[in-house]
Chain A
Amino acid sequence: DSGVTQTPKHLITATGQRVTLRCSPRSGDLSVYWYQQSLDQGLQFLIQYYNGEERAKGNILERFSAQQFPDLHSELNLSSLELGDSALYFCASSLSGAGGSYEQYFGPGTRLTVT
């Protein structure tokens, strides 16, 4: 158990809909990262937040957005869903957002299926 929690575990929804994925980081970690894992794209970094502020953006679509709240939990919002958005979405946390040596601890993921 990494200490990172994600809800829900599974999500099935229709095209065009909007969903929210939730993540709670390990106790004491200030940074939260979101990743998408799919068969064709592999593991892709989406976005990072540090202590409530956006720090880095990766391959995140404009239809997707995220935020980190004062209690440090984070939400990833996916809207106007398409079939291609079906994937595993992982949240990870680390102590710091700067410096390259900090390991990231991953949650169990949310499996999103868009039908």
Chain B
Amino acid sequence: AQSVTQLGSHVSVSEGALVLLRCNYSSSVPPYLFWYVQYPNQGLQLLLKYTSAATLVKGINGFEAEFKKSETSFHLTKPSAHMSDAAEYFCAVSTIIQGAQKLVFGQGTRLTINP
């Protein structure tokens, strides 16, 4: 079964510092991978997705993620953190059940930005 593991339930960085949120996947077939962000009291918003077109994927709000097959990783990065980036981030892998798509989410990483 396909799954994702997010390393670190809480990450804290200073404003202006590099943001690195880790995600490792488990999949027997080439995966489709997604990063979503959830701001307090809101739904999930798609940041970016990997669908095998390019290993480096650029998303919204300055985030990007690199697919590394050899490391089974899809880590999310942003060069310079902003206070508005404080939120919970979810990595997800798409699985197919009887021809239907299902997203399997990691446990989430809460990002805190220190002024």
Contacts and interface: CB of A to CB of B under 8 A. Distances in A.
A55 B100 contact: yes
Contacts of A104: 46, 103
Interface in B44-77: 44-46, 49, 51
Interface string B92-113: 0011111111111111100000
Contact of B43 (A45, A48, A90, A100): A90
Given A105-B46, A106-B45, A107-B43, A42 B102 contact: no
Interface string B33-48: 0101000001111100
Contacts, number: 69
The size bracket of the interface on B is 20 to 34
Nearest to A49: B100
B82 to A, nearest CB: 21
Given A42-B107, A90-B44, A103 B99 contact: no
Interface of B: 31-32, 34, 36, 42-46, 49, 51, 90, 94-108
25 contacts: A2-B45, A4-B43, A33-B103, A42-B106, A43-B105, A45-B102, A56-B97, A56-B98, A56-B100, A58-B102, A90-B44, A94-B101, A96-B101, A98-B96, A98-B99, A98-B100, A99-B101, A100-B31, A101-B32, A101-B51, A102-B101, A104-B103, A105-B46, A108-B42, A109-B42
